[in-house]
Amino acid sequence: MNRGWKRAGAIFPQNAFLAQYFEGCVRERITYQKTFFMKKTIAALALSLSCLYMSAQQTWDAKKNPTVDSISTPYEAKLLPARPGLTTAQIFPVLGKYESAAHPDIAQVTITLDETNKGLVWVEGLPQGKIKAMLRQSPATYKIPVQQTTEGKAVAEGTLIYDKESNTLRVCIGRPYNTADPAQAFAPVTEEPAAAPKVVKGKPVKTTKPTAPAIWMYEGTRIESATALNQ
């Protein structure tokens, strides 16, 4: 065919351009068909591989695979069971109900967790009324801030500590919270020696000392009851 176009071009020079044009068109069409066929083949192959991968992902199960099972079986007996999550009572051991033989006038003291702030607890049953305490040292050391109860009673600063080992709750109101040693609040109360009178121009002058809040303490034992926290 190419020879025919060349022979025609030699006889008719004016047709040489048309001969070259048609020859180029034929070549371009053949090249286009090859490229289209290759693209179509690649797309079909990619689609097949994708379907095969998705099918394998849906049907393959490691637990049912004999190879995986043979490898993992010897170690299953050595695996430790998952540790259960801590309960609220384990995280905040101070929660519960308490009784005190030393305070027969106090029937029962109940400590509950604040609904919105896990760092706060509410203490009910004390003569001061319902008071709040703020967690300062985990697991069960709390500061009682200066506050006024809903009953209108003023409450001085204090300390609340629950000892899990002895199962004992101790409350001190009237002594500032000691950050370095919170248990210092429960040290025996000692009377300070009377200060010498101030002398001005040879005459003693009376001085007034601010009245310290009265120190009040409570010690109770937690009631061991499975339903104590739910009553």
Contacts of 160 (CB under 8 A, 6+ apart): 94, 123, 133, 141, 142, 143, 144, 169, 170, 171, 172
pLDDT value for 117? 95
Q: Tens digit of pLDDT for each residue in 39-60?
A: 667 777 777 777 666 655 555 5
Instruction: Residue 209: name the closest of 223, 197, 222 by CA.
Output: 197
The pair of three-digit structure tokens given for residue 85, joined into one six-digit string: 């999550």
Task: Please return the burial class of 122, using the count of CB atoms within 10 Å of its CB with bins 0-12, 13-18 and 19+.
Answer: middle
Is residue 133 within 8 Å of 155, Cβ to Cβ?
no
pLDDT above 60 (res 206): yes
pLDDT higher than threshold 60 for residue 139? yes
**What's the CA angle centered on 149, arms 143 and 154, to 5 degrees?**
80
**CB of 182 closer than 8 Å to CB of 159:** yes
Q: How far apart are CA 56 and CA 59, in angstroms?
A: 5
Vertex 66: Cα angle to 60 and 72 (nearest 5): 100
Evaluate if residue 172 carries a pLDDT over 90. Answer: yes
List, for residues 53-93, the tens digit of each pLDDT value.
Answer: 665 555 556 666 677 677 777 767 777 777 788 888 889 99
Lowest mean pLDDT among 9-18, 100-109, 169-178, 217-226: 9-18
So what's the pLDDT on residue 8? Answer: 47
Could you identify the residue written with the tokens 């394998």?
A: 56
